[in-house]
Amino acid sequence: MSVLVYTESEGGKFKKAAFEVASYAKEVANMLGTTVTAVSVNADDSSELGNYGVDKVLEIKNDKLATFNAKAYADSLKQAADKEGAKVVVVSSSADSKFLTSMLAVNLNAGYASNVVALPESASPFTVKRTAFTNKAFNFTEISTDVKIIGLSNNAFGLKEASGAAAAEGFDPSLSDEDFTVNVTSVDKATDKVSIADAEVVVSGGRGLKGPENWGMIEELADVLGAATACSKPVSDMGWRPHGEHVGQTGKPVATNLYIAVGISGAIQHLAGINSSKVKVVINNDPEAPFFKAADYGIVGDAFEVVPQLIEKLKEFKANNA
Partner 1 sequence: MKILVCISHVPDTTSKINFTEGDTKFDTNGVQFVINPNDEFGLTRAMWFKEKQGASVDVVNVGGAETEPTLRKALAIGADNAIRVNTEATDGFYVAKQLAKVVQDGGYDLVIAGRESIDYNGGMVPGMLAALTGANFVNTCIGLEVEGDKATAIREIDGGKETSTTKLPLVVGGQKGLVEESDLRIPNMRGIMMARKKPLTVVDAVETAQETKAVKFEKPAPKGEVTLVSPDNVGQLVELLHNEAKAI
User: Nearer to partner 1 by C-beta: 44 or 133?
Assistant: 133
Mark the segment that binds partner 1 (CB under 8 A) among 25-33, 44-52, 157-165, 195-203.
195-203
Span interacting with partner 1, options 32-40, 133-141, 166-174, 204-212, rule CB under 8 A: 133-141
61 three-state secondary structure: coil
By CB under 8 A, what part of segment 206-225 binds partner 1?
225
Please, which residue, 162 or 300, has the CB nearer to partner 1? 300
**Among residues 124, 174, 176, 183, the one that binds partner 1 under rule CB under 8 A:** 183
> In this chain, which of 159, 165, 167, 268 binds partner 1, going by CB under 8 A?
268
| Interface positions, 59-118, toward partner 1 (CB under 8 A) | 70-71, 94-96, 98-103, 105-107, 110-115
Residue 250 touching partner 1 (CB under 8 A): yes
Q: How far is CA 190 from the centre of its chain?
A: 17
The upper half-sphere exposure of residue 301, i.e. CA atoms within 13 Å in the direction of its Cβ, equals 12
Q: Out of 72, 203, 274, 299, name the contact with partner 1 by CB under 8 A.
A: 299
CB 5 within 8 A of CB 17: no
Query: Least distance (Å) from partner 1 to the CB of residue 122?
Result: 11
Distant-in-sequence, close-in-space partners of 136: CB < 8 Å, separation ≥ 6: 272, 275
Window 135 to 164, contacts with partner 1 (CB under 8 A): 135-145
Cβ-proximal residues to 253 (8 Å cutoff; 6+ apart), any chain = 131, 134, 135, 247, 273, 274, 276
- # residues contacting partner 1 (CB under 8 A): 93
Q: How far is the CB of 169 from partner 1 (least distance, A)?
A: 28
Could you give phi then psi for residue 251, rounded to 5 degrees? -105, -135
For 104-142, give the DSSP string: HHHHHT-EEEEEE-SS-SEETTEEEEEEETTTTEEEEEE
Which residues does 117 contact at the CB level (< 8 Å), separation at least 6? Answer: 129, 130, 131, 138, 152, 153, 156, 157, 276
Contacting range for partner 1; rule: CB under 8 A; set: 31-39, 43-51, 188-196, 205-213: 188-196
What minimum distance in Å lies between the beta carbon of 135 and partner 1?
8
Q: Considering the rule CB under 8 A, would residue 257 count as an interface residue with partner 1?
A: yes
Give yes or no for a contact between 53 and 23, defined as CB atoms under 8 angstroms apart. yes
Of residues 30 and 306, the one with the C-beta less far from partner 1: 306
